[in-house]
Amino acid sequence: MTDGFPADLRAFIERTVRLTRLRKREQRDLELELFSHFREALASGRTPDAAMAAFGDPKLAAASLRAGAIAKRTMLDRVIGKAALVTSVAALLAFVAYASFAAYLLSQEPVRRTDTVAVFQSTLPKSSSPEECAWPIYRSALLQLEFAFNAPSSEAREALNAMPWPGDEQWPKVAEWLQNHDEGIRMLHTARAIPKLGFPVGAPRDALNAQLLGEPSADFSSATEDYSKVLPMLALELPHLAQMRAAARILCCDAIRAVDHDDGARFVTDMQTVLAISKHAQEGRLLICDLVGFGIRSMARTYTTAALEWKPELLNTSQLAELQTAFESVPDELQKFVATSERLMWEDILQALFTDSGNGDGVFLMNKDSERVLINMLAMMEPKQGVSAERGTAQVLAALPRALSAPMAAWSFADRKSTNAFVDRLFVAAENASQLPLPDYLKVRTMDRAFESEVQDAPLRWTLPRLLMPSLSRAMAGYAVDRAQCDSVAVTCAALRFLRDTGRWPATADELVPSYLPSIPIDPWTGSAILLVSDAKGNRVWSVGCDGRDNRGDPLASDGFEWAIGGASAPLPTTFPVRNPYYEQASYQPTNDIDWVWYAPLGSVERWRTTQAPRTQVRSTQ
């Protein structure tokens, strides 16, 4: 149709039409009309140049032609067109803003403003000389006891780990080993008078420590190459805790051997040392340190009660007083949760995962490094359950469906300040919970539900605390149990001293005050005075237990009240708001509605043997 049309005129028309920026169909119509127009102009004798000149400037023409063409559109069409234009501009602006923010995030690097390990180390007790620290003594003693890192295992060592009682099949081997290693055990005893531990947490491992502990673990750094730099608090190794547990196990076995040999003084020294170890283990006040300390004190209580039930006459009055003092000497501050060190761990997480505006605020920084930190943390939380990095990735992606890019993640998650405030409230709640008496753990559950509700209201906002915060509240009952365990031995010693002095078992707890105890011992479950009785079944001390019902302290029904430490019993919270996805549902079901029997001499250690054996038969080992 346009064959033979002058090229310059055709170009003029096409340019004019293109400049109108009309829709394709409208441009086609206009083009036809202009071709028609110029064809008529040429037919009338005008030259192409004259026709173009008469038509006018293409830009001005295009503008007015566009206005005219748009006027022909329907009202609805024009409204939609305008809306599309506005939307396009808005989308463009949004894209520019998004891209700018993405570029900003891309340019950001995590800032390690706080050297958390240095802060942590500054909280450790200072000592001016190695003589003021117990760790060198433990180390020397354990090396002497053949616990060097590369020392071959032996049957006796294996037997020691099982902690057999006199009468058990493995006991003779253990007893012989203890006899042969008396010097090392006596060396352990010397550490009990030293208040500080002085293990150099986070410091390079010297030759002596490496001899006992081996070189720093390769497992941790192999999976996550720079982990110790990114999350140094979490990467801190605490290998001394396992060694101190080992020392405590040796001393407990030595203590029961002392009972077997009627050596009350040795027994008391062993227990004093175990208690000192439990306090030393808590140095640094990381939660894991506290839990190890509780575990060691629980051993001390078990072995002391077992010894006093087996041979009530073993200890003289002054030895009983020494033992009571040792259990009463656990400082109050070690029996409540202090979140200072745990907060430093969280500070590491904030520094690794958020930008730093310099005033404590920032936004979540989703990049390769932070993703790796998240994956590795999740994979590390439950390594025993075989959580692989791949599974970690899947979990992260499943948990962060909207966080496929950094800006979305930064906008979706709470900012640094809010996240920190949220987590801090959890820490404060945990600190308060650790000081509650046992029955008040129902309040912990209520408190947990409040947090849970907050998380459910904005699950994406609180993704990071939900994924990364440990389940603190469930560990808090351990503090109350620890207090009860120390009380149980103190009351038992006080009651035995009363018996020695008066020739009779105290009928009520208030008889022990003030000569034997500073205040009336309280049943941790009822808040009332602890129960004591002397009847046909013998002398007993007991708490009514978590069901609040008095079963008169039947020792054969008691489980040795390893409550909560061993993971049993109600009424702990069954859910936790910031539980990470790998944490199995709590199984705190009321499994024992029986009394906690604190003391019930049976002339044997039968009720303290492994809980796997049915407690139907009382067997004397004498």
Partner 1 sequence: MSIEGEFIRGAGPIAVLKLLDRGEMYGYEIIEALERRTDGVLAMGQSTLYPMLYNLEAKSLITARWDESGARPRKYYRLTSGGRKRLAEDSRTWRKLAAAMEALGVTRIGALLPHSNWKGAIA
Check binding of 616 to partner 1 (CB under 8 A): no
The residues, ordered by sequence, that sit 6+ positions from 618 with a Cβ below 8 Å of its Cβ are: 556, 602, 603, 604, 606, 607
Among residues 9, 65, 436, 444, the one that binds partner 1 under rule CB under 8 A: 65
Check binding of 36 to partner 1 (CB under 8 A): yes
The residues, ordered by sequence, that sit 6+ positions from 243 with a Cβ below 8 Å of its Cβ are: 138, 139, 142, 147, 212, 213
- Using CB under 8 A, which of the segments 67-75, 81-89, 136-144, 396-404 binds partner 1? 67-75
- Using CB under 8 A, which of the segments 63-71, 80-88, 273-281, 451-459 binds partner 1? 63-71
Task: Give whole-number Cα distances, 373 to 15, 126, 560, in Å.
Answer: 57, 33, 42
- Asked if 336 and 405 touch (Cβ cutoff 8 Å), the reply is no
Question: CA 208, CA 148: separation in Å to the nearest integer?
Answer: 10
The two structure tokens encoding residue 159: 């037997």
Question: CB 7 → partner 1: shortest distance, Å?
Answer: 19
Question: CB 71 → partner 1: shortest distance, Å?
Answer: 4
Among residues 28, 37, 504, 549, the one that binds partner 1 under rule CB under 8 A: 37
The two structure tokens encoding residue 337: 């949760």
Question: CA 507, CA 302: separation in Å to the nearest integer?
Answer: 24
Query: Which of 414, 365, 368, 423 minimizes the C-alpha distance to 393?
Result: 368
Residue 196: strand pairing partners: 133
Measured from the CB atom, the residue of 79 and 118 that comes closer to partner 1 is 79
Check binding of 49 to partner 1 (CB under 8 A): no
Measured from the CB atom, the residue of 61 and 546 that comes closer to partner 1 is 61
Query: Which of 356, 373, 354, 376 minimizes the C-alpha distance to 365?
Result: 354
Measured in residues, the chain has a length of 622
Question: CB 81 → partner 1: shortest distance, Å?
Answer: 14
The residues, ordered by sequence, that sit 6+ positions from 406 with a Cβ below 8 Å of its Cβ are: 101, 102, 105, 106, 365, 366, 367
Residue 535: enclosing H or E segment and its boundaries?
Answer: strand 531-535
Among residues 3, 4, 7, 43, the one that binds partner 1 under rule CB under 8 A: 43
The two structure tokens encoding residue 277: 């170890």
Among residues 13, 61, 174, 253, the one that binds partner 1 under rule CB under 8 A: 61
Question: CB 370 → partner 1: shortest distance, Å?
Answer: 58
Measured from the CB atom, the residue of 2 and 620 that comes closer to partner 1 is 2
| Distant-in-sequence contacts of 293-299, Cβ < 8 A, 24+ apart | 293/334, 293/482, 294/478, 294/479, 294/481, 294/482, 294/565, 295/245, 295/565, 296/244, 296/245, 296/248, 297/330, 297/482, 297/485, 297/486, 298/482, 298/485, 298/562, 298/565, 299/248, 299/249, 299/252, 299/274
Measured from the CB atom, the residue of 64 and 388 that comes closer to partner 1 is 64
Among residues 68, 172, 195, 567, the one that binds partner 1 under rule CB under 8 A: 68
Question: CA 349, CA 580: separation in Å to the nearest integer?
Answer: 15
- Taking residues 70 to 99 in sequence order and writing x for each that binds partner 1 by CB under 8 A, - otherwise, the string is -xxx--------------------------
Check binding of 388 to partner 1 (CB under 8 A): no
Measured from the CB atom, the residue of 37 and 113 that comes closer to partner 1 is 37
Query: Which of 437, 466, 464 minimizes the C-alpha distance to 575?
Result: 466
Among residues 54, 94, 118, 394, the one that binds partner 1 under rule CB under 8 A: 54
Question: CA 220, CA 231: separation in Å to the nearest integer?
Answer: 12
Query: Which of 229, 244, 239, 247 minimizes the C-alpha distance to 205?
Result: 239
What type of residue sits at position 323?
L
- Using CB under 8 A, which of the segments 60-68, 361-369, 549-557, 587-595 binds partner 1? 60-68
The two structure tokens encoding residue 532: 């004591």
Question: CA 563, CA 588: separation in Å to the nearest integer?
Answer: 10
Which positions from 261 through 290 interact with partner 1, judged by CB under 8 A?
A: none
- Asked if 524 and 437 touch (Cβ cutoff 8 Å), the reply is yes
Measured from the CB atom, the residue of 16 and 434 that comes closer to partner 1 is 16
Measured from the CB atom, the residue of 40 and 155 that comes closer to partner 1 is 40
- Taking residues 174 to 213 in sequence order and writing x for each that binds partner 1 by CB under 8 A, - otherwise, the string is ----------------------------------------
Check binding of 424 to partner 1 (CB under 8 A): no
- Taking residues 14 to 33 in sequence order and writing x for each that binds partner 1 by CB under 8 A, - otherwise, the string is --x-------------x-xx
Measured from the CB atom, the residue of 36 and 217 that comes closer to partner 1 is 36
Which positions from 321 through 340 interact with partner 1, judged by CB under 8 A?
A: none
- Using CB under 8 A, which of the segments 35-43, 82-90, 91-99, 375-383 binds partner 1? 35-43
Q: Determine the distance from the C-alpha atom of residue 355 to the mean position of all C-alpha atoms in its chain, rounded to a whole number.
A: 23
Residue 364: strand pairing partners: 354
- Using CB under 8 A, which of the segments 59-67, 374-382, 495-503, 593-601 binds partner 1? 59-67
Check binding of 50 to partner 1 (CB under 8 A): no
Q: Determine the distance from the C-alpha atom of residue 112 to the mean position of all C-alpha atoms in its chain, rounded to a whole number.
A: 21
Query: Which of 496, 562, 82, 580 minimizes the C-alpha distance to 301?
Result: 562
Among residues 5, 55, 98, 220, the one that binds partner 1 under rule CB under 8 A: 55
Residue with tokens 């802060």, as numbered in its chain: 119
Question: CB 8 → partner 1: shortest distance, Å?
Answer: 17
Among residues 67, 84, 90, 265, the one that binds partner 1 under rule CB under 8 A: 67
The two structure tokens encoding residue 419: 């996240």
Question: CB 44 → partner 1: shortest distance, Å?
Answer: 7
User: Does residue 155 sit in helix, strand or coil?
Assistant: helix
Question: CA 599, CA 264: separation in Å to the nearest integer?
Answer: 18
- Using CB under 8 A, which of the segments 52-60, 95-103, 328-336, 528-536 binds partner 1? 52-60
Residue 522: strand pairing partners: 529
Among residues 50, 60, 103, 458, the one that binds partner 1 under rule CB under 8 A: 60
Site size with partner 1, rule: CB under 8 A: 25
> Using CB under 8 A as the criterion, which residues of the chain lie in contact with partner 1 when the complex forms?
1, 16, 30, 32-33, 36-37, 39-41, 43-44, 54-56, 60-61, 64-65, 67-69, 71-73
